[in-house]
Amino acid sequence: MPVIYLLRHGQASFGTDDYDVLSDLGRRQADIAGQELARRGVRSPVVVSGSLRRQIDTAQIAAKSLNVIPTGIDSRFNEFDAHAAVNVHLGDAMATRGMPSSQFQQHLDAVMTDWMENGKSEWQEFTDGVFAALTELADSLPSGSDAIVATSAGVSAVLAGRLLGADTQGVISMNRVSVNASITTVVAGARGLSLVSFNDHAHVMGDRSLLTNR
């Protein structure tokens, strides 16, 4: 039974001009996550990522611990542009510049609620694309292989929510608590995809400085 590990990227660069860059801490988190996946005995891993820089770099760093090279990029595993969405929501193209993380999260929750409860097309396209990407990956895995997908919080929350049948607030809550370099585990069996764990971050719990959400 193939196992797919959804690895959230390491800490990015929130509050800077380019969020899509791993911080030094983010690179360390990605390395620790790779070591954890190696410890779990991932079988002949197929390592893929979204096309965002923070996802690609996380995949490359984690793959080193597994002695493999990432083999694919699928932009359907990309995070939605949360900063742009909040800016549109607030009616100011520069609204998120310098905004504290806690305040940003409040606005992001409002945006996601609006998207989901009002059936916005961009949300449906995002969620359908994410689920299709995961399903196609599971179907393509060679016998005896598992997969690691370096992705983002929104992607993992959407997939977990869909597999659990969670409502709007359930998905938002999962997105809100996602930890950098956390691991969400999905198995592919005869009955389809099943969620085994969400946001597992025991591998970074021993050092509080490793616990970040952006």
- Condensed to tens digits (0 to 9), the pLDDT of residues 67-113 reads 999 999 999 999 988 888 888 888 888 788 888 888 988 998 888 88
- Condensed to tens digits (0 to 9), the pLDDT of residues 151-198 reads 999 999 999 999 999 999 999 999 999 999 999 999 998 889 999 999
Spell out the domain ranges in the chain. 3-79+121-210
Phi-psi region of 199 (alpha: psi -120 to 50; beta: other; left: phi over 0): left
The pLDDT assigned to 165 comes to 95
Q: Is the pLDDT of residue 119 over 90?
A: no
Q: Is the pLDDT of residue 15 over 90?
A: no
| Superfamily classification of domain 3-79+121-210 | Phosphoglycerate mutase-like (3.40.50.1240)
* Both tokens assigned to 72: 């694919």
Looking at residues 101-130, what average pLDDT do you find? 88
Within 8 A by CB and 6+ apart from 46, the residues are 71, 72, 137, 141, 142, 145, 146, 147, 148
The pLDDT assigned to 198 comes to 98
pTM of the model: 0.93
